[in-house]
Structure 1
């Protein structure tokens, strides 16, 4: 009895420590991510003309991050208090918004990489593709895609909560939500987007290295490669591990730490905006006049 009581005490202490750590991580991400993304969104809309495909993709990336950040307060409350007062529907919505952030962010970051690839490697032939109209169409399709995927996922998640009568959220005592066919959408999507980013990085790197005469027209070549390096880091560190938990059962016990890690991506995206624009802090009139509106080509 004494051994059993001591083990229960140790398990309780370990659970309390892990919950406190999760609350601190999510609280820190919310504290940093909310002002960083709000200010970035304001600067992108106010100081930069939304006539650049990259600016359009970055605005929507900032919106995606803000939607995630706004849900973190409830994760902080849950892990700090151990209670969930909002019911199943709020749990479903918050879970879906987290998944949407991974999916939409991975697609928008890939769009930014492809746009930079076209601007650097095929600057003349890609002009008819790199238009604001096409960028807005792509953005609309992305949001439609993530919403459509949410519908069957939400239904499956709701059934799980009802069947097992789970009264909490993020912590399930009976079993984890079942693996369905829709669960494979995210890992397949993230792996596909990562492959596109790798190819884009290689092609741009070869262009900047081998075509010296053409690449001389491109400003801040270091910034160009930094952006591609940041994009690859986003995938390999933040998006890929949490997405692959569905494919590898041995990873599933680490799902909560990986969710914490994935949420940090919203704090680093503002760096992407900064390095993407030479005149990030300047007004759009000054940027347009200087000819450095997108910060890539003269």
Structure 2
């Protein structure tokens, strides 16, 4: 019982931290990217915008997971179960696909700058984004087949996409393996190749200043960290579950790590887009300017404070006559 309570508290803590950090940072990135696209639309900005929308969609449906966790069962309307599951899992894999798209775009820009410039059109990026959304949502629509199961030993208790029958697992386990190979392993290998080549070209170039090289390295390290921390454990559970022919007990903990993706992606936005960097700096400057300075009042002479108060009082008195 204590173990179940600790597990529930850990899940809730991760959900709350993700919401508190992911919502404002992704909204800030969304604002910056929209402003950039209004000035000039680039494939990189379009992919990052879709990645931001994916994260915000994930965060929008995260409270449903938290509510189910608090109540111990699915008490919300039945139609919300597959819908929340569809967005929850689809946005996880859409993130891997758009991270891969960003890496390919970066690699082509430095490896084949002249040739790629002929095909670097926003319309192509929009078409690719639509295809990636279709891939993630098409694969994860499996939740409409195996989303809702009422255990036979309980007349009222129901769970959402958690407990499965043996017949469901016969279909679900091979499908999860295919999901992990197509939407994680292949994108991960492509990302490693593109960013490995990208870093090699950037570092060896003498025409690129040090600051840009450091941002490029930061982008690569953050992206690989997202893959390793957020996506690798969950997709590893697909392989292990397929080999053991069962729904693994630690799969929920592996899936929990993918939640951090919505908080880590804004770091990638920062390294990938100068517009996001500028927006973050402006936001921090505004917060600093608006911050009260208690020492300023102490350092002012008392006579000056009295004079200012008297001037305010006089202004209020004269202003009231009108």
Moved more, 59-68 or 252-261: 252-261
In structure 2, relative to structure 1, the CA distance for the partners of 1:183 and 1:279 (3 Å cut) is closer
The answer to whether residue 70 in structure 2 is matched with residue 80 in structure 1 is yes
Structure 1-normalised TM-score? Answer: 0.81
Counterpart in 2 of 1:110? 100
Structure 2-normalised TM-score? Answer: 0.75
In structure 2, relative to structure 1, the CA distance for the partners of 1:218 and 1:279 (3 Å cut) is farther
Counterpart in 1 of 2:200? 206
Q: Gaps (5+ residues) in structure 1?
A: 1-11, 284-298
Contact kept in structure 2, 1:41 and 1:59, CA below 8 Å: yes
Within 5 A, what are the aligned runs for 1:199-278?
A: 199-212=193-206, 215-216=207-208, 220-249=212-241, 252-278=248-274
Shift of 1:107: 0.6
In structure 2, relative to structure 1, the CA distance for the partners of 1:98 and 1:120 (3 Å cut) is same
Shift of 1:282: 4.3
RMSD: 2.6
In structure 2, relative to structure 1, the CA distance for the partners of 1:176 and 1:27 (3 Å cut) is farther
The answer to whether residue 176 in structure 2 is matched with residue 187 in structure 1 is no
Q: Gaps (5+ residues) in structure 2?
A: 280-322
The answer to whether residue 97 in structure 2 is matched with residue 119 in structure 1 is no
Q: 1:56 aligns with which of 36, 46, 52?
A: 46
Divergent runs of 4+, >4 A: 162-166, 173-177
Q: 1:169 aligns with which of 139, 160, 171?
A: 160
Contact kept in structure 1, 2:45 and 2:273, CA below 8 Å: no
Counterpart in 2 of 1:39? 28
CA distance in 1, matches of 2:162, 2:264: 27
CA distance in 2, matches of 1:176, 1:34: 39
Contact kept in structure 1, 2:42 and 2:122, CA below 8 Å: yes
CA distance in 1, matches of 2:138, 2:71: 33
Counterpart in 1 of 2:128? 138
Contact kept in structure 2, 1:245 and 1:252, CA below 8 Å: yes
Q: Which has the larger radius of gyration?
A: 2
Shift of 1:163: 7.6
Q: 2:83 aligns with which of 80, 84, 93?
A: 93
1:186-211 CA deviation, whole Å, 9 max, x = no partner?
21120001101111122112212334
CA distance in 1, matches of 2:176, 2:43: 31
Contact kept in structure 1, 2:111 and 2:201, CA below 8 Å: yes
